[in-house]
Every structure is written in C-alpha cells, then in structure tokens.
Chains A and B, each alone.
Chain A
Amino acid sequence: MKKFFLTIYLLLFSFVYTQETIENKFEFVFEPDSLFLRVGETGSVTIKLVNSNGELANNPFYIYGRPRRSLESSPRISDSTGIATVSIKPYKPGKLTLSVRSISQKREDRVYGGMTVQVPFPPLERIVFDNPQKKLYLGTSLQYKTTVFDQANLLRDDAKVELSTSNNSIAEFDNYGNLKAKKAGKVKVVATAENISESFEINIVKNPVRKISLETEKNIIRTGDVLQFSAKTLDRSGRHIKDIPIVYSYNGKAEYGIGLPAAALINSSGKFVAETPGVFTITAQSGGFSARKTIKVTPRNVKKRVRVVGHGTVSDVNTSDLWVWPGVGKHKGKDFAATGTWGANGEAYFWDVTDPSKMAIIDTITVDARTVNDVKVSEDGRVAVITREGASNRKNGFVVLDITDPFNVKITAEFNDDMTGGVHNVFIYDNHVYAVNNGRKYDIINIEDPYNPFRVGRYELDTPGHGVHDVWIEDGIAYSSNWADGVHAVDVGGIKFNEKNRSKIKYNPLLAMAGQGSPGNPVKLAGMADPNGHNHAAFPFISQSTDKFYIIAGDEWGNQFGMAGGFHFLDFTDPKNPKESAVYQVPEAGSHNHWVHGDTLLASYYQGGLRVVDISGELMGDIYSQGREIAFFLSSDPDGFMANRPNVWGTMPYKGLIYFSDMNNGLWAIKLEDDNRFGTN
C-alpha cells in the first residue's frame, strides 16, 4: 500500500512540482546541519525538503553517502511528504558528505543538497625521524624528515609536521626541514603534529673543516656519461672528516646558441651527467668552504644514418606486433617474419624475409577475431602463437600454429578456456605459452604437444583493481607489466645460478633468488609499482658496459594531444630496493613496445617512429636530452592504411637489421649505416 501511494505521488509529482518550482524554490533542511562522528559510530539526522515557507514539499528524495562506500545511510529514501530521519554510520575517516537529491522525472526539477559529516582520523600516535642524526657541524645544513603514524598504525601523509628547535640561535629550521647549525652547543630538535611530538637532542660541534678538495677521474666526458665527483673535507691537520654534509652544484656554458647556459644534473652523492656539450664547473660546499672543478663535456656523437633495407606495405588493415625467426628443416637458411593485424579480420601474415629487400607475404592465417594483437614464435622456430580478440562468439583465446613450413602454416590447436575477455599478449618459453588474458592475469599453458595444450598455472595479482598488460620471459623469470602495480619479476623456473657460468646473466640478481618457481607454481621475486599507472611493457637489461641490472619499463598512455609516455630505467641491481635512475621520453610522441640489444634500446614510439638509443654506461636522468639517440626513423608510406603517417608498434633486432612493424603500413627492415654494428658505443 505504501508503494502504491509512493507511485501515485511520483506520477502526480511531475505536474505539481513543476508548478511549485515556479512559485517556490525548494531546499533541503538538515537537523543538525553537520555531524561529527568517529568511524563505526552511529548518528542521526532529520532531513526535510521544504518550500520557501518552510512547508514540506510533499516529494520524496534520495539519501546517499559520498564518497561511495564511506558512509552507510538508512533509509535511502525519504517518505512521500519529503522527510526522513536518517541513521548514518561512517566507515572511513575524512570529510564525508551525506548527499540528497529530490526524485523527479524532469532533470530541471531536481533539487540537490548535502551536509558534511566530519569523521576524524584515528588520533596520531607517533612521529619517527627518518634520519635522526645527532651531531651536526657548525655552519652546515641537514634536511630532517619524519614519518607519522596514527593509532591504527597507518602512515599519515596528511599530518602536518612542524619542525623546530629549542634554541633558534643555535640551530634553526627553514620551511623545508633543513636545519642550519648556527652556533656550537646542544639543542633539542622537536617534531610536532597535532598533539603529539617527538624530540631528540643534537650536538652542534665546532666545524673542524679547513679545506675541501674535489676530484674526479676525467676532465672530459661526453653528454650522457655519468661522472662521479668526490669531495673530501679535511681538518687543519689534513685528516678526512667523513660525516659532514656536502652540497654539490654546477654551472656551465653551453657550446651552442649565443651564450646559453648548459644543462646537466648532479645528485647528492656527486654523480654528474650533462645534457648539453659545454664547459661545466662543479662546486662542492660544506661549512663555508668550497672547492671547484671544471670539466669539458663534448657531444656524444653516436648518431648514425638509417638505410631502409626492405618494406612490405600492408595497405588494407592496421598492423600489430611482429616476430622474425630463422627457418628450420627444409627452410633452413631462410628467414621469416610474422605480423598480426588490428581491428580487422583476424589475420596473421607470414613473410619470407630471406632477402629483406624483397620481403613478401607467403601465407595468411585467419581466425575468428578482429584483432591479432600479438604473434610469438618458439625458440626452435617450429611453433607460433597468435592471440585472438573480438571473436564473433566472444570466445577469445589464442591459436597455436605449426610454422615448420611458413609457406603452409597450419593451425594445431585453439585454446579458449576462461579467456573470454580476450588474449592481448603472449610469450612462448620452454614449451609453455604465457597468455595475458581478460586484462587481469596470465595463464601458463603447456604446448609440448602443440595439438593438445593444457593449463598448468596462473599468475594474478591480488591488489584492488589490478590488471596486467604484457609478459616477457628470459632465463626463467617472467617480467610482467601491470599498469599501476608496475613491473613484477616472477620465478617460473629461473635458471639455477651456476658459478661456472661466466656469462653476463650472472649479473641478474633475480636468478640468485630463483629456485622455487615453475610454470605450475609462479613465485614473485621482486616488483616496483608505477604511481602513474602507465606500465605497459617490461624488458630485462643487463648493462654490458656496467653489469648493472635494470628492468626497462615502458609506458602507454595518451591524452587529448595523442599518445605520450616513455621508458623508465628501473635499477634492480638490488632487487629489494629498486630505484628509477633514468628515463627516455620523447616529448611529442607515445611509447609502445621495446627491445634491448646489447647496450642499445630499440624503442617503438608510435607517431614518433622508431628510436634507437645508446644506453651504454651508467644511466642517470633524462636520457632523451643527453644526446644518446643514435637514430630515429619515421616510417612514412604513401600507400599505407593511413598514408604517410608513421605509427610504430613493435621492433626486433635480427641478423644486423632492425625489423619493426608500423600500425599504419606494415613491416620494415632498416640498417644503421656505420662500419660498426649497432650496439655499445
């Protein structure tokens, strides 16, 4: 009966309410007009929808908490006269809102309102100094940092911490937490947040430094080379004072323009890298003493010319990924490539690239899909896997192919189980397919018998809203790209580290940690989140010149101006404490897939074409600005699916050439014109 009357009200309301709004403006009245509740407490508020005379509007309204799932409210709807006594219970701390909206058919008749429900965070419990250094030298500065926890032991970044001292004439903080030691003596350093504080005493001692020296191994470096400066603070007797802070800075004059300043980066440990050639003076300062050293930075001079060796135009559809491999059996001595297609007819093309200048499609496989996003070939060159998305029956998955005769490729099996949302990327390693599917996980499928694939394992994160985009396997470690969860290194049968193995793989510290995982039991070894949420591809990289181990994490993201992003060099030399040390980012284009060959990065850069980048030596800062780009090539084709519009998707080095696929025009093979093969500079 109640519902009946409510229905009648609703049906009549449109007319009545419209008349009312002309004469009377409705508004919500909250009694009380705000609430202060702790998490888990229950409060009550009476809400009325009234006209300008304070009379009930005779119209129901909705009640809901914002943000969603932070505030329980009951009932969710008022009675038909426009009044509700609402019981509310907060689940999260913060400034929450109890929102209301009148119910009406016409949008313009709707009235909105809201009241604040202030829910305090749990009281702060403790402040921890991150670097509680208790001795400071007169005349020096040191930045102090703190971390605040509340009674729920949650990190409280929102807590405003004020730093002070007990005597500003001895030592005083600036607004950025830097404590300047002004006079010798003891002083208390105090951190205060709300009603809690933490303090400790520091001793400001006479500064024994009478001299500072500055040394480096080289006087001339190239742009992009990282040079370590070592400053030494010495006392009157020439003894090295080790625990005194040193500040490094630089100035310089560029060798271009008309008196332009030069660009470089120097970090707090004295590592310097220049972006522009010129003359730089590096200064080390401590306690009023300073030392300078001037060096010259020359151009890196790594540029090479690009020669197009071959190009196969695909003019009727978009091209996706590629793979190149040597023929086997009767085709030994020949070379072949496979490319996928995007947003089209579910085709994969097989190419004879034995003579890359005459590359030609020799076979086509068509499956029920609109996008064959990825193509991969097994190490022995006998099996290929292509992905399926956009199947007409929505049963997506991947397809296993026999490619022993690339002129006559045969489908051996389809694998669709629990991959309805589509397989986007795959990798083949040691008779297993790692299939990234449904945007959420990768499944591991045994293809030892290519006619009878079966699932043996699965890797899926458990973070809220997790996703995965790509996976790459090398030496039994799977490197997956997981958007905001960043890169994950997972043991799927990591090669046991053997001290007799003197190859460079010994510098992959993840192998030393491996040993528990297998395709049926993937075990996470390490990872690094991406706070930007752009992680799209990952490639392991043992620097041939420095033996450091990186995971190069590629972005994919776009905005209203087109695709953007870059490649982040995550230093995993210490896998438990990975750090981003450098980034290669073309400002006007978008990063996609990449490959590392020796100390050279091959970067597919969508509208920015193919980029070849020197990543030899230590890597620090903005690689794009350091003159490390060896070459770039804009793959225009007037006969392409989109004419004269480069859009490079993926790349792969093969037999001294660089193959790459262009989404708008097909397959390319290029060569860097130089006496030396591309690689370490």
Chain B
Amino acid sequence: MSKNMKRTIQLIFVVTIMINNLFAKDYYIYCTAESEDEVALIRFDGKVAHVEKRIPVGVWPVEIEGPHGISVSPDGDYWYLSMAHGMPYGHLYKYETGTDKMVDRVELGLFPATMGISNATGLLYIVNFNLHGGHSEVSDVSIVDPDEMIEIERVETGIMPHGSRLLNNGLKHYSVAMMSGELYEIDAMTMELKRTLSTSPMKKMNKHSGHNMKGMNHSKMKMNSMSHNMPAEKPTWVYPHPNDNFLYVVNNGTDNVVEIDVNKWEITRTFKTDKGPYNCEVSQDGKYLVVTYKSAAKTGVWDLATGKELAKFKNTRKVTHGVVISPDSRYAFVSVEGIGKEPGAVEIFDLKKLKAVTIAEIGKQAGGIAFWKMDN
C-alpha cells in the first residue's frame, strides 16, 4: 500500500468517526426502580447505555415507598414521580431535571400511579390506582397543577385505574380501570368525565374486530378463573396515536391490544398478543406499536399499517414492564422488573433494524419510564 493510499484511508477513517460523532445522539431516559426507591437516569449514545445517576427518592430510609409512575414536563425542565405508598395516601413529587433536586410534593389518593401532562392545559392527570382497595372500590384521576403542585380536582372513574395519557393536542385524557374493564375519556379542559367504553373486543367482535371469533380458542381464555364480576380484560394501559384519531388499549387479562377510533368511539381492530401485555407506546411517526408482554417477558413491535407483529424480543429477565420510544421513532426503551433481588433493567431496541441494542442495569423492579431529551 502506498504512503498516499495509507494516508487517504486514515483520513477517511478519521472523517468517518468525526461525522459519526457529529451526528451521534445521546438519548436520556428516566426509569423508576420501585423496590429500590430509586430513579435511574440513563444516557444511551446509540450503542451503549450509561447509568448516569441513581437518584434516591422518598423520605423514609427504612420503608419502601414505591416510585411507580414518572413523566417529564413538556419543556423538559422537571420530572414528576408518583410514590405509591404513604400513610396511607401516596404523593406526587416534582424534581428538577439535570440537578435532580426535589422541588415539591403533593399528597394525592391511594397508590397514585401513571400520569400524563396535557400539552393544552399544562395540568397533570394522574390515576390513583388504589391497589389497597380490593376489587370493589371505585377510584379516581387526580388533576394537579404541576407548577404550584396543588391538586385541583378529582374525577371518579373505575376500579383500579391505570394508564394515563392525553391526546397530543392535550384536550382529552384517557385512562383505563383494570377491575372495571373500561376506558374513560375526561375532557382535559372542563375536567369532566365524558365517555366510557368497554375494552372488550368481544362486545364488538362481529362488527368491528379484525379478529376471527370462530378461530378463537376460548378454552385458553382466563374467564373461568375470574370472579363473575371481574372483567376478563383487565386493561392496564392506553396510548394515543400521534394523529389523535386512535387509541391503543392493552387488555392484560385477555392478551390483546385493541385499537379504538376516537371519533366513532368503538373498537376497530384487535391485535392478539403474547401473554400478559402490560404497557404500550406508538412511535411518533405513527408506524410502530411497541407492546410489553409482562407475563411472557417479551417485547413486541407491531406494524400499525398492516396490523402484523414485526418482531418479538425476549427480554433478559422476567416481568417486562414499561416502554417509551424516542421522539425520532428510532429506539424503544423497555423497563424490565426482574424478580426478587435481581436488578431491574432498561433494554433498548432499534426499531429501524428491529434488533436489541443494549441493556442498562438499574435498581430492583424497574417500572415507570420516561423520555427526557435527545442531545447531539
């Protein structure tokens, strides 16, 4: 090899690295560790996930308070954390991003869990899951002014409400209730419950579902083991499509995700999933639906155009929990709880290449997960 050729190759190599570095992005994720009373800040550089910080949260050094849900404010200046256990009421905490210093907290209902912040109102809507209420107590959604950290209103929904997301326009809030089997729509502006819908595809099967009722194996459904007044669906999550026309509701009990037309207010498609789907998220480009399968310990990536599952990843440990997708629709970040003293994890999947990229190990029972920012 001539000297010039060698220099040229070296130059190309250096320039390639420089270009790569120039366009390389850092993705920042916050993820809770519910049995560790910690929140981890993870930086993913496209190849490796770095646990930048493990932030201790809560006020009781010898009690597990259970950080569960997490959300970053739309401007990225603050992150909000629900702490499930109190005496007996849980709290919503407010932290400053970057410094991760606690700013304030407000007491809410029993076991506050998932939350969402409206792009329209700036208010925070958080479900009081009430894990302690058995299968009979109707609970509610707390509406909080996150600037002043005061609870403004509570809107009663169903039994064990979970999932809390808003349309991108911020005008409608959606949550489900596990033990009521219902989807709830709250007008974010008027703070009133407007519509409810059963999340059971069975009720609309003939008319709306893409699912073949005859082909279903009913013996494998969990109906037999259920109490007669407990819905089989046990919906755990709802996520809106970026176009605000559709919602995706995860039926944890019957292993499916249903697509709901917001305007028609009916189920339009049913995606039969692996065991125990729990959370889901739709990529911002509207192409992918990523579903966590809690019982199967897997993560599924669905093509929303075709309704087919493009890929299914086996997670590195049991109890797959939450998912957040980077705003560039490139990566899915999935929290996996683990069992017992096993560390929790955030597993990162490349949605473009449909392959697992890397893992960050964090505290026990990794749960709520939220995207903070992308840096070049």
Contact of B75 with A by CB under 8 A: yes
As a 0/1 sequence over residues 327 to 349 of chain B, the CB contacts with chain A under 8 angstroms (1 = contact) are 00000000001111110000000
Determine the distance from Cα of A234 to Cα of B54 in the docked complex, in whole angstroms. Answer: 74
Asked whether, in the complex, the Cβ of B152 is within 8 Å of the Cβ of A370, the reply is: no
B191 within 8 A of A: yes
Contact A344 B340 (CB under 8 A): yes
Are A562 and B61 touching (Cβ within 8 A)?
Answer: yes
From known contacts A101-B145, A105-B120, infer whether A467 and B87 are also in contact, taking CB-CB under 8 Å.
yes
CB distance from A59 to the nearest CB of B (A): 12
State which of A60, A370, A440, A556 has its C-beta within 8 Å of the C-beta of B132. Answer: A440
Q: Say which residue of A76, A103, A392, A647 sits within 8 Å of B340 (CB atoms).
A: A392
B60 surroundings in chain A (CB, below 8 A): 558
Contacts of B170 in A (CB 8 A): 10
Known A110-B147, A438-B132: A6·B189 in contact at CB below 8 Å:
yes
* Shortest Cβ gap from B262 to chain A (Å): 13
Q: Is there a chain A Cβ closer than 8 Å to B151's Cβ? A: yes
CB-based contact B132/A7 at 8 Å: no
Chain B, Cβ-Cβ closest to A344: B341
Taken together as a complex, chains A and B put the C-alpha atoms of A392 and B320 apart, in Å, by 10
Cα of A418 to Cα of B151 in the assembled complex, Å: 29
Q: Identify A563's interface contact among B61, B74, B131, B189, CB under 8 A.
A: B61
Identify the interface centre among A368, A465, A484: most chain B CB within 10 Å of its CB.
Answer: A465
* A421-B190 in contact (CB<8A): no
Complex contacts, B16 vs chain A, CB 8 Å: none
- Binary contact readout B142-161 vs A (1 if CB under 8 angstroms, 0 otherwise): 00010110111110000000
Among A75, A110, A439, the most chain B Cβ lie within 10 Å of the Cβ of A439
User: Which residues of the other chain, A, contact B85 by a CB distance below 8 angstroms?
Assistant: 439
Residues of B within 8 Å of A562, CB to CB, are 61
Closest chain B residue to A101 by CB distance?
B145
Please tell me if B305 contacts chain A, counting CB pairs below 8 Å. no
Restricting to B73-115, which residues have a CB under 8 Å from any CB of A?
A: 73-75, 77, 85, 87-89, 111
A59–B299 Cα gap in the complex (Å)? 43
Which B residues touch A466, using CB under 8 A?
Answer: 88
A residues near B191, Cβ cutoff 8 Å: 76
The docked-state distance in angstroms from the alpha carbon of A440 to that of B109 is: 13
The answer to whether the Cβ of B59 comes within 8 Å of any Cβ in the partner chain is yes
Compute how far the CA of A75 lies from the CA of B62 in the bound complex, rounded to whole angstroms.
45
For A371, what are the chain B residues with a Cβ–Cβ distance below 8 Å? 35, 64
Candidate in B88, B123, B154, B171 with the most chain A CB atoms within 10 angstroms: B88
Kindly state whether residue A483 has any CB partner on chain B within 8 Å. yes
**Residues of chain A within 8 A of B61, CB atoms compared:** 558, 562-563
Query: How many residues does chain A have at the interface if contact means C-beta atoms less than 8 Å apart?
Result: 57
B341 partner, pick from A75, A77, A370, beta carbons under 8 A: A370
Option from A11, A103, A483, A533 in Cβ contact (under 8 Å) with B121: A103
A325 interfacial by beta-carbon distance below 8 Å: no
Give Cα A420–Cα B159 distance, bound, in whole angstroms: 14
A533 to nearest B CB, angstroms? 7
Residues of A within 8 Å of B64, CB to CB, are 343, 370-371, 389-390
- A107 located at the interface, meaning its Cβ lies under 8 Å from any Cβ of chain B in the complex: yes
Whether B169 sits at the interface, judged by CB under 8 Å, is yes
| Contact, CB under 8 Å: B75 / A107 | yes
Min C-beta distance of A663 to chain B, whole Å: 7
Closest to A417 in B: B134
The contact string, 1 if C-beta is below 8 Å from chain A, for chain B 111-134, is 100000001111100000001101
Chain B residues with CB under 8 A of A103: 120-122, 189
Is A106 among interface residues, defined by CB-CB distance under 8 A?
Answer: yes
Residues 104-117 of chain A: 1 if any B CB is under 8 Å from the residue's CB, otherwise 0? 11110010100000
CB-contact partner of B134 in A66, A77, A112, A418, under 8 A: A418
> Does B319 reach chain A (CB closer than 8 Å)?
yes
B340 surroundings in chain A (CB, below 8 A): 344-346, 366, 368-370, 392
State which of A107, A343, A389 has its C-beta within 8 Å of the C-beta of B36: A343
Q: With the chains together, A587 CA to B150 CA distance in Å?
A: 34
Does B269 have its Cβ within 8 Å of any Cβ on chain A? no
Return chain B residues, CB-CB under 8 Å to A663: 62
The complex places the Cα of A345 from the Cα of B36 at a distance, in Å, of 12
Which residue, of A112, A317, A370, A556, has the highest number of chain B Cβ atoms within 10 A? Answer: A370
Residue of A nearest to B119 (CB): A105
B71 to chain A, nearest CB (A): 15
The answer to whether B153 touches A368, judged by C-beta atoms less than 8 angstroms apart, is no
Asked if A394 is at the interface of the complex by the 8 Å CB criterion, the answer is yes
Return chain A residues, CB-CB under 8 Å to B342.
345
Query: Contact partner of B87 among A11, A390, A483, CB < 8 A?
Result: A483
12 further interface pairs, Cβ-Cβ under 8 Å (given A101-B145, A563-B61): A3-B171, A66-B150, A76-B191, A101-B147, A103-B121, A104-B122, A105-B120, A105-B122, A390-B34, A420-B132, A421-B132, A438-B131
Instruction: List the interface of chain B (C-beta within 8 A of A).
Output: 34-36, 59-62, 64, 73-75, 77, 85, 87-89, 111, 119-123, 131-132, 134-135, 145, 147-148, 150-154, 169-171, 189-191, 318-319, 337-342, 364-365
User: 29 A-B pairs, CB-CB below 8 angstroms?
Assistant: A3-B171, A6-B189, A7-B169, A10-B171, A62-B121, A68-B150, A68-B154, A76-B153, A110-B122, A343-B64, A368-B339, A368-B340, A371-B64, A389-B64, A390-B64, A392-B318, A392-B319, A392-B338, A394-B131, A420-B131, A420-B134, A438-B132, A439-B87, A439-B88, A465-B88, A466-B88, A467-B87, A558-B59, A563-B62
Closest 4 CB pairs between A and B?
A: A438-B132, A345-B340, A345-B341, A467-B88
